[in-house]
Amino acid sequence: MTIDTKPYIVYGLALEKGQNINVGPYAWKTEVDLGTLGVPYKLEGRIYDDIRGSFETETGNPKVTVPTLKTEDGYVTDSWAIAEWAEAKYGTPERSLFGGNEEGKAFARFLNIWADNDLGDQVKILFAPWLYQAQKAAGDDASAAWFLKTKLGGSQEAINGLIKASQDPTWVDNQAQVVRDKLQTIEKQLAANKEAGKGKFLAGTDYPTHGDAAVFGWYAASAAVRGYDLLEKIWNHESLPLVSAWVKDVADVSGAKVAYPY
């Protein structure tokens, strides 16, 4: 059921000015959370250079990132902070982003940290060459420089090495295997829930919680950045049958429209 309210604006990461898409994992978390709660929203993209320029001025926050949510009370930045805001305003005992209790919130926080570190650090290795080259191809040298500074410490040698490695199919296959090994944690959690007769989402619920959104964000970014090979090599791989079904279930329930835009 969709809540009767004016759509909120979710700001995500775009690669070109005026592009209302999101290619990063973090805003996808917010899209899943809002969709799960039935909160209407629309996505607006911001390129790296704008985030560190005009968007700081617009929000009044020198540390602003994406996702940021524009609300009637001001701007809320960071997917976890947005989840807490949405839960407080729209969560119910029947549909809660944190499972309706402190234990559920702790589990969601654990998955959020795990997804951004254990999982995300390995997926980012596959993302970085593509994102950097896409920004350069779009003529956005300022965003490419900021991306390089924040993700690889400004090392041109590091990004050149990743670009070269990413052109080697064997290297890509090996790195995809590393990511699949990480996702066995999720496969085992889903298997345990199934064995116990619980719901099909990570907390054993019949709808996605923020923990699901946190992991799903990396799937959605895989689809947006390298859908032509990462979905087959990782998320839909035969070694992860429950994960493959789970990402479809999250998209179906939340309404998140994941697509490869390039």
Q: Same domain for 18 and 67? A: yes
- Of 66, 90, 114, which residue is a domain's last? 90
Tokens read off for 157: 């040698």
Q: In the prediction, which pLDDT does 166 show? A: 93
For the residues 122-128, what does the mean pLDDT come to? 93
- Of 70, 90, 110, which residue is a domain's last? 90
Q: What is the mean pLDDT of the chain?
A: 94
SS3 70: strand
Residue 3 clears pLDDT 90, i.e. is over it: no
Per the domain annotation, does 106 fall within a domain?
Answer: yes
Single pTM value for the model: 0.94
Tens-digit pLDDT profile for residues 167-177: 999 999 999 99
Grade residue 261 by pLDDT with cuts at 50, 70 and 90.
low
| CA dihedral over 152, 180, 203, 36, signed as positive or negative | positive
For the residues 95-102, what does the mean pLDDT come to? 96
Per DSSP, the chain holds a count of helices (H) and strands (E) of 12, 4
Judge whether 108 and 80 are in contact, CB under 8 Å.
Answer: no
Tokens read off for 27: 């805003």
- Of 57, 90, 123, which residue is a domain's last? 90
Q: Give percent of the chain above pLDDT 70.
A: 98
SS3 21: coil
Q: Same domain for 47 and 151? A: no
Of 2-6, 30-34, 202-206, the range with the lowest mean pLDDT is: 2-6
* Residue numbers of the domain that contains 123: 102-254
Tens-digit pLDDT profile for residues 195-218: 999 999 999 999 999 999 999 999
* Edge-to-edge order in the sheet of strand 68-71: 41-46, 8-13, 68-71, 74-77
Q: Same domain for 79 and 118? A: no
Tokens read off for 151: 């993700």
Q: In the prediction, which pLDDT does 1 show? A: 63
Residue 228 clears pLDDT 50, i.e. is over it: yes
Grade residue 262 by pLDDT with cuts at 50, 70 and 90.
very low
Amino acid at 148: L
